[in-house]
Structure 1
Amino acid sequence: MSAGLAAISTGFRGIARYLGGVLGADAYSKYVEFHREAGHQEPPLTEREFWRDRTDRQDSNPQGRCC
């Protein structure tokens, strides 16, 4: 019975990760990973700075948004 619950729990976590990706919740972690791999010398933006910059860019250039 516990194997079934573990499988269900794993399934829900997978769905949550997928939806987080679709909604952009993982954008900051992707940014930090890209920043590290690209070899930038300056430190990455803080999470707060990242979301502010992203929101400002979307507000000034709304063409790619559905709503």
Structure 2
Amino acid sequence: MNTILEGFRGFARYFGGVMGADAYAKYLEHHEASGHDAPMSEREFWRDHTDRQDSNPQGRCC
């Protein structure tokens, strides 16, 4: 049973990465490593992310 749960969690992490759900966490890691000032809030990050996608449309499903 534990193996099934671990497999599901691994798949969920993979799928979340493919869908971009971990983008804010990656942003925070990059922001901390590069030594910038205060990072954007998660809400500000996603607003900026969608605004960039809208102004620069590229191949995406939706």
TM-score category by the smaller chain?
over 0.9
Structural RMSD (CA):
0.9
Gaps of 5+ in 2: none
- Greater per-residue helix proportion: 1
| 1:38 aligned to which of 34, 39, 43 | 34
Gaps of 5+ in 1: none
TM-aligned CA deviation for residue 65 of structure 1: 2.5
TM-score by length of 2: 0.94
Q: Select the structure of larger CA radius of gyration.
A: 1
Q: Percent identity?
A: 69
TM-score by length of 1: 0.87
Superposed counterparts of 1:1-67, under 5 Å: 5-40=1-36, 42-67=37-62
